[in-house]
Amino acid sequence: MKILISNILILLLVSCNDTRVPLPKPRIYPKVNYPSGKDLVFSKSQCPFEMTVPTYFKYIKDEKKNKGEAQYSCWFDLVCEELNTNVHFSYVPITTSKNLEVLTEDAFEMVDKHNVKASYRDEIKISNSANNVYGFLFQIDGPVASPTQFFLTDSTQHFVRGSLYFNDVVNRDSIAPVFAFLKKDLDIMLDTWVWK
């Protein structure tokens, strides 16, 4: 028994002889293969607007809303399969000034629904008087479903609401480079927006 206890003590002393200081592993993020492509003018006959969109975005009509109802003929997604994201667009014609007020309030309410999980929200006013494009861009920090939303209008005939979605549950820090990449594309879309 004494031999067993002395062997265990010797083993413990020998095993505690490591002089290296443990260092934490550096943070790494998954490798992202960013898509590349040319910028082209996006124009659909059922949509009364044009914008510049990179070719790696694929147009997908919103079939749930487009079942023969003219009011939903310009509801669609621009999907970037490489980054597993999509930008949803919904166009609604303005029929009265009251209609514009309701649409604008609805856009703000959709953004407000993220306040439960959001840590910060930035509202950026969009005003391009040369192309008669006005609206707001909302950037939302925190674990929210849609970190970027926007609406655009000419205040008399047209109203478009859009939102960027990541199709995975993501940690905002880990997708920061992807978000920055997509934000540049979204800025180009909004900066080149023209009503037909």
**Every domain of the chain and the residues it spans:** 3-195
- The mean pLDDT of 55-74, rounded to a whole number, is 79
Cβ neighbours of residue 155 closer than 8 Å, sequence gap 6 or more? 94, 100, 132, 134
- Is a pLDDT exceeding 70 seen at residue 18? no
User: Architecture of 3-195 per CATH?
Assistant: 3-Layer(aba) Sandwich (3.40)
- Is a pLDDT exceeding 80 seen at residue 106? yes
- Banded model confidence at residue 124, pLDDT cuts 50, 70, 90: very high
User: What DSSP line would sit under the chain, residue for residue?
Assistant: -HHHHHHHHHHHHHHT---PPP-PPPP-----------EEEEE-TTSSEEEEEETTSEEEE-TTT-SS-GGGTTEEEEEEGGGTEEEEEEEEE--SHHHHHHHHHHHHHHHHGGGGT-SEEEEEEEEETTTTEEEEEEEEESS-S-SEEEEEE-SSSEEEEEEEEESS---TTTTHHHHHHHHHHHHHHHHT-EE-
Pull the structure tokens for residue 180. 């920055």
- Is a pLDDT exceeding 80 seen at residue 41? yes
Q: In the chain, what's the furthest Cα-to-Cα distance?
A: 95
- Cβ neighbours around 100 below 10 Å, total: 19
- Is a pLDDT exceeding 60 seen at residue 66? no
33 or 15: whose pLDDT is higher?
Answer: 33
C-alpha neighbours within 13 Å on the C-beta side of residue 187: 8
